[in-house]
């Protein structure tokens, strides 16, 4: 595990700021900043993205202690995307003043090569205390759709009428139920999902179109579509927006790949996409309306099997 370094001292010496590896600051408890409201969080997120493209972190308001990871590896601030990002596309931002977290999902270009980026910042006392980036790049054997024209589903920006809203704890429970259903994979759906729910990751629809013969989030769970997923672990929910019905979830999907094909409950034989052990790191948005999950959209990075989390739950 790396040490946590004094950011202000380091910034006087270099734009590279050392940060922790494992055992980073707790996402939901350590970075609460009641004085930084939604507008404040979004403003700091925008400042961060501008500094990232300028490849200059020196002007940002850093906390004394900072945790920074990219695809779950602890990095120096100034390393990783800080040295490769050349353009930021339009994206979707959601903030939670109760936890002090803000999340951005969109497209980043690295020397002209587009990738999907999920970015989480945690703000403490008006300063950046945590940075977590999930970068879905083209090339590894994970879903990746062309980025041209990509935009997060407009439904995530729509306000949910008060009568159809769910409280924070209930919203998180619905998402937990989705992941529990995926992990157990016995055809039982342990959460409420709308008939027309869709899921998209790295711009690629995993529930509709192409050669997908069973369409819909709930319908796939009902036939045991996700049998290759052995576990959904290290789940965290740093942002909940009750007004818009949005939950941000971060998790790992572990695939032991002990078999190359499997039979779903509808009697169909299906192929395991990757035939060696692997883990997918996820940052996903869940849209909840009238007590049901209606949309899931996010970014995933292909990682070594059983990649350890760098963040305390």
Write out the residue range of the structural domain in which residue 22 sits. Answer: 7-137
Exposure string of 183-207, with b = 16+ CB inside 10 Å and e = fewer, is bbbeeebbbbbbeebbbbbbbbbbb
Backbone torsions φ then ψ of 263, nearest 5 degrees? -110, 125
In 3D space, the residue among 57, 64, 60 whose CA is nearest the CA of residue 5 turns out to be 64
The reply to whether 277 falls in a domain is yes
* Percent above pLDDT 90 for the chain: 86
183 and 290 together in one domain: yes
112 and 228 together in one domain: no
102-134: pLDDT as tens digits: 999 999 999 999 999 999 999 999 999 999 999
131 and 169 together in one domain: no
The reply to whether 256 falls in a domain is yes
Instruction: Give the mean pLDDT of 14-39.
Output: 50
The reply to whether 149 falls in a domain is no
pLDDT of residue 100 exceeding 80: yes
272's tokens: 């395991």
What CATH number is attached to the domain comprising 299? Answer: 3.10.450.50
Overall number of domains in the chain: 2
- Provide the mean pLDDT of the chain: 90
Kind and range of the H or E run holding 95: strand 85-96
The reply to whether 125 falls in a domain is yes
In 3D space, the residue among 288, 301, 305, 136 whose CA is nearest the CA of residue 217 turns out to be 288
206-234: pLDDT as tens digits: 999 988 999 999 999 999 999 999 999 99
93 and 204 together in one domain: no
160-203: pLDDT as tens digits: 999 999 999 999 999 999 999 999 999 999 999 999 999 999 99
257's tokens: 């790949």
The reply to whether 194 falls in a domain is yes
CA distance 272 to 278: 12
CA distance 14 to 51: 15
pLDDT of residue 33 exceeding 60: no
pLDDT range class, residue 313, cuts 50, 70, 90? low
163 and 61 together in one domain: no
Instruction: Give the mean pLDDT of 82-100.
Output: 97
What pLDDT shows up at residue 21? 40
The reply to whether 142 falls in a domain is no
118 and 172 together in one domain: no
Q: What is the 3-state secondary structure (H, E, C) of 25-39?
A: CCCCCCCCCCCCCHH
CA distance 197 to 194: 5
124 and 172 together in one domain: no
The reply to whether 264 falls in a domain is yes
CA distance 251 to 231: 10
């Amino acid at each position: 595990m790396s040490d946590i370094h004094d950011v202000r001292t380091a910034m006087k010496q270099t734009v590279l700021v050392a940060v922790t590896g494992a055992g980073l600051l707790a996402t939901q408890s350590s970075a609460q900043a009641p004085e930084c409201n939604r507008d404040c969080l979004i403003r700091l997120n925008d400042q961060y993205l501008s500094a990232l493209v300028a490849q200059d972190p020196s002007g940002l308001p850093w906390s004394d202690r900072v945790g920074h990871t990219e695809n779950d590896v602890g990095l120096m601030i100034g390393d990783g995307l800080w040295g490769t990002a050349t353009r930021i596309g339009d994206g979707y931002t959601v903030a939670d003043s109760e936890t002090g977290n803000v999340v951005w999902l969109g497209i980043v270009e690295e020397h002209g090569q587009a990738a999907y980026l999920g970015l989480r910042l945690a703000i403490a006392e008006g300063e950046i205390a945590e940075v977590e980036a999930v970068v879905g790049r083209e090339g590894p054997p994970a879903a990746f759709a062309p980025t041209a024209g990509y935009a997060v589903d407009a439904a995530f920006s729509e306000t949910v009428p008060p009568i159809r809203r769910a409280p924070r704890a209930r919203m998180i429970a619905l998402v937990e139920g989705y992941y529990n259903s995926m992990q157990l994979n016995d055809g039982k759906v342990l959460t409420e999902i709308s008939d027309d729910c869709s899921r998209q990751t790295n711009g690629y629809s995993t529930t509709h179109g192409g050669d997908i013969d069973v369409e819909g989030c709930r319908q796939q769970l009902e036939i045991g579509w996700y049998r290759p997923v052995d576990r959904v672990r290290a789940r965290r929910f740093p942002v909940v927006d009750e007004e818009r019905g949005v939950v941000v979830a971060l998790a790992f999907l572990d695939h032991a790949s002990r078999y190359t094909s499997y039979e779903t409950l509808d009697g169909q034989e299906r192929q395991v996409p990757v035939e060696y052990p692997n883990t997918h790191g996820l940052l996903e948005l869940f849209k909840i309306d009238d007590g049901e999950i209606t949309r899931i959209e996010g970014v995933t990075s292909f990682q070594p099997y059983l990649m350890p989390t760098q963040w305390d739950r």
